[in-house]
Copies of this chain bind each other. A is one copy, B any other.
Amino acid sequence: MREVHIIGIGQTRAGEQWERSFRDLAVEAIQAALQDANVAEVDALYVGNMLSGELVAQQHLGALLADWSGIGTIEALRVEAADASGAAALRMGYLAVASGAQEMVLVCGVEKTTDADDAWTKAAWASALDAEYEAAQGLSMPAAAGLIMRRYMHEVKVEREAFAPFAVTAHANGANNPYAMYQRPISAGAYAKAAMVADPVSVFDVAPLCDGAAALVLCPSDRFSDRATKPIRIAASAVATDRVAVHSRRDPLFLQSAYLSARQAYNQAGVQPHDIGLFELHDAFSILAVLSLEACGFAERGQGTKLAQEGAIGLQGRIPISTMGGLKARGHPIGATGIYQIAEVVTQLRGEAGANQVDARLGMTQSLGGTGGTAITHILHP
């Protein structure tokens, strides 16, 4: 397999983009990535998106975005894995370059959630769950996370306040990210008083669904000699799955998909968890951040909140997470999120993260679909 490098990134601001259309957001991110890579032509485009059919009545996104961005009649397809759709599109781009089938490849994640009625959007998000055995019974994504979080609090014997550092850290970091939806820090006191969404999941335990697009340019080693920006190598790319319905899992507090995909990624890159210098994890819910840290080997079982309370997840900590705000403060434009995560790690490894810069040799991203039915892990190396 050929080595695959990221030579360009582009992002729109995540948030409520009332005056922009779905396709315009994608084109803005694509053009920014092409400019960053100093590339005019590409051979293929892979689009990560979950809900454009339901929310903007548009499928066929590969051709549509190749068309609308003016990049021509190239191969263009869409990949979907619920909330992990952006990472899934990167996986396809990685395979296309690694195989030798394509040379210069664009990957774009995009979602527009604000064009549809809010209740409809939330119902559509629940299609990440098992439609027949979870969603049809009334379960929503926040409710599913609430059940898992409540069980965790019961088993591990921690209070709700133990989860506060995840929201506080994310919002502190988001304050310095111009692409973040929320750019204001919050206090532990604000977390304690937060309104409930699905008890014990409060508004500060769930990432805001929003609009946004992000894009990457990939190429093999022999194509970046003259690039202005530092190429970042994809040292590992791994996908694993689990039972989609939480009630079908042997242990609802163990993210098997996260464990398996992280283990594969460590093997591919020849590294251990302690080699990872920053970890952009999938904090769609505080409880998922905790379970990801545990499944990926950064904390023992039941010790995820303790790790955060000790300050290990901060910018100067042992394993910084959500360094540009995470899903929680940057926002969660569903199918775009996986590409934002990659763009943020690239920004860090280039040394361009400004006030949020961490000292890291290797960065890892992990996107979860739904409550962990899918996990996609990438390890990046300068």
Contact = CB atoms under 8 A, between A and B. Distances in A.
A140 interface: no
A62 B306 CA distance: 34
Interface stretch (A8-16, A126-134, A351-359): A126-134
A59 B335 CA distance: 12
Given A56-B131, A95-B96, A99-B98, A62 B81 contact: yes
A56 B54 CA distance: 11
A62 B88 CA distance: 11
Contacts of A98: 99-101
A370 interface: yes
Residue of A21, A100, A256 contacting most chain B CB atoms (<10 Å): A100
Contact of A99 (B63, B95, B245): B95
A110 interface: no
A166 to B, nearest CB: 24
A181 interface: no
Nearest to A99: B99
Contacts of A81: 60, 62-63, 77-78
A88 B59 CA distance: 14
A208 interface: no
A274 B62 CA distance: 31
Given A21-B132, A64-B373, A373-B64, A78 B80 contact: yes
A182 to B, nearest CB: 26
B128 A240 contact: no
Nearest to A128: B60
Interface residues of A, number: 67
Nearest to A260: B73
Contacts of A92: 77, 79, 92, 95
A114 to B, nearest CB: 16
Contact of A57 (B82, B100, B131): B131
Interface in A88-111: 88, 91-92, 95-96, 98-101
A128 B81 CA distance: 20
Contacts of A240: 73-75
A337 interface: no
A63 B95 contact: no
A374 interface: yes
A27 interface: no
A131 B56 CA distance: 8
Interface string A36-53: 000000001000001101
A206 interface: no
A104 to B, nearest CB: 15
A135 interface: yes
B135 A57 contact: yes
Contacts of A54: 53-54
Residue of A63, A74, A243, A256 contacting most chain B CB atoms (<10 Å): A63
6 residue pairs, one from A and one from B, having the closest CB atoms: A99-B99, A63-B373, A58-B131, A75-B239, A60-B82, A63-B241
